[in-house]
């Protein structure tokens, strides 16, 4: 039990609790704010695991951009929020499926990797940068195209209703 283990257990418990609250909270804005805590805690997990670059990108992209979008969407669609959860029987079924996924994945992964301690020896930031612009450069450039396409598509889809409103 190293200090890294203790740190990860602390950050991981915060992340797990916030994730559970994000999917069970009945108030939509609170669920969105718990998602902020869960994704921020996930960035902390990356930091404890030694992946600083991924942790910073997670903070910038998720907590900085994606969650702000989600919160704005929640506030804009507030008028249409009636019941946010499905029926009780449906939720119990969903909880059973979720618990099954957790047990199956956790059991398989722990059985594959084991409990014994290993050295954390990930790639340094220099290696990651060199690999992104070396081995992975074409997927990386393709991702910029994907982001552009997503941007244009989002504007096109989101303004569809406006056009319909203007015509009718």
Partner 1 sequence: MSPALPLLLAALLAGTGTYGVLARRHAVLMLIGVELLLGAAGLLLVTVGQFAPDPLASGAVLTLFVITIAAAEIVVALAVIMAMFRTRGDVDLTGEALSADEAGSTAGGTATGEATPAVEAPTGDAATEPETVAP
Q: How far is the CB of 111 from partner 1 (least distance, A)?
A: 10
Among 121, 138, 141, 167, binds partner 1 (CB under 8 A): 121
Tell me the C-alpha distance between 35 and 43, whole Å: 12
Q: Retrieve residue 79's tokens.
A: 């008028």
Spell out where 107-163 has E strands. none
Q: How far is CA 9 from CA 6, 18, 39, in A?
A: 5, 14, 16
Q: Is 30 in the site for partner 1 (CB under 8 A)?
A: no
Size of the site for partner 1 (CB under 8 A): 98
Q: Is 98 in the site for partner 1 (CB under 8 A)?
A: yes
Q: Retrieve residue 60's tokens.
A: 């910038």
Among 37, 44, 63, 101, binds partner 1 (CB under 8 A): 101
Q: Is 110 in the site for partner 1 (CB under 8 A)?
A: yes
Q: Is 19 in the site for partner 1 (CB under 8 A)?
A: yes
Among 53, 63, 138, 141, binds partner 1 (CB under 8 A): 53
Q: Is 113 in the site for partner 1 (CB under 8 A)?
A: yes
Burial (CB < 10 A; 0-12, 13-18, 19+), residue 44, is: buried
């Amino acid at each position: 039990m190293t200090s890294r283990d203790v740190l990860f257990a602390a950050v991981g418990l915060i992340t797990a609790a916030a994730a559970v609250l994000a999917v069970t909270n009945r108030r939509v804005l609170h669920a969105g704010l718990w998602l902020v805590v869960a994704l921020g805690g996930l960035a902390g997990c990356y930091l404890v695991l030694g992946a600083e670059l991924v942790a910073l990108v997670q903070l910038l992209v998720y907590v900085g951009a994606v969650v702000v979008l989600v919160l704005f969407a929640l506030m804009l669609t507030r008028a249409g929020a009636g019941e946010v959860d499905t029926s009780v029987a449906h939720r119990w079924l969903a909880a059973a499926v979720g618990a099954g996924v957790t047990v199956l994945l956790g059991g398989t992964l722990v059985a594959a990797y084991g409990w014994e301690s290993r050295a954390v020896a990930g790639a340094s930031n220099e290696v990651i940068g060199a690999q992104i612009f070396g081995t992975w450069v074409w997927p990386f450039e393709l991702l910029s195209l994907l982001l552009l396409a997503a941007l244009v598509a989002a504007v096109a889809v989101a303004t569809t209703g406006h056009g319909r409103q203007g015509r009718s």
